[in-house]
Amino acid sequence: MKRTTTVVAALAGIAAVGALALASGFAKRAAKRALRHWNSRNRFAMRVVESPFAHLAASQVGYGPSMSKQFSSAKESGGFRAIRERDGAVVFVGGAPVRSVKTDLLGAIDKVWIGDFSGLDAPARYRIEADNGDASFPFEIGPQVFDQPVRAVQRWFYYQRAFTAIDAAHAEGPWVHPSDAEKAPPGVRMGWHDAGDLSIYSASLNTALFWLLEAYSDFRPADDATNIPESGNGVPDLLDEAKWGLEWLLSVQDPSGGFRNVTCQERYGAYGTNTPNSVPAYRPGEVGTLATARAVGNLAYASTIFRAYDPGFADRCLQAAARGYGYL
């Protein structure tokens, strides 16, 4: 009864705060502070106090069935066992660590020990328990363990898209904003906002582009359903995202053939106040040799990959690369 009364009181408090929030700007700010305090107090009450490195470190992403499987421990042990979470069965018994590694990254801990359980390959959820009393958090072994992390990493580029709206239908969460296309310099389009600020840099964009293209060349991912605006168009979504970066490159090529090094902001507001729609208009950067060399390499590479999906776009990439090479 007491618990029910507490919950009802908390909900009533939240409702009252919400009503105040609608009343005025001051009340809205006060409501936010009150909710933050309530949230922080509840998180603090739920905390678990543990010493650093109290667990064995196993991959929380998981392991593919045939891949090497290892964990690390801050304490030496004589052996360990792998336990299936579903029924508590011991399914693998391992011996002493296969090696130790010196480190200066973990404070007072200057050595970690590595255990190996590569012989365990049956798909399931497990945990590792060592004979020194330490245990890992549960983890998965299975052929699909990397599917969701790969999807999440690939979709990160969608959230960073510049000069476009990020809409609710594709955001799969609250990370939305209206289009900021009107802030682009004349003729500049697409690209990705940098992770540290909202400018678009030749160095970081070209690095990301190269690895997107290389990932496609190495693994040929065919997924066309990651819920980006281009999904379902018959082109792998990885290439659709790469094209978003390539279009920025094409848009910042100077008539001389060289490429500009940035589409940037000259100044920002206080940290935490800058959004795609609140910053001033962007300005174009300077044409540079390094920026041109990066663009030439990626555009030439892209032309070979996109030839099978979009010959016209492949031609645009190759022609721009040739003009850039002439500039160099």
pLDDT tens-place string over residues 177-235: 999 999 999 999 999 999 878 999 999 999 999 999 999 999 999 999 999 999 999 99
DSSP line for 155-178: HHHHHTB-SS-B-HHHHSSS--B-
Contact status, residue 261 vs residue 328, Cβ threshold 8 Å: no
Helix (H, G, I), strand (E, B), or coil: what is residue 254?
coil
Helix (H, G, I), strand (E, B), or coil: what is residue 99?
strand
Fold of 70-141: Immunoglobulin-like (2.60.40)
Give the whole-angstrom CA distance, residue 45 versus residue 39.
Answer: 10
Residue with tokens 């697409």: 190
DSSP line for 232-253: TSSS-HHHHHHHHHHHHHHHTB
Fold of 147-327: Glycosyltransferase (1.50.10)
Asked if residue 10 has pLDDT above 90, the reply is no
pLDDT tens-place string over residues 118-172: 999 999 999 999 999 999 999 999 999 999 999 999 999 999 999 999 999 999 9
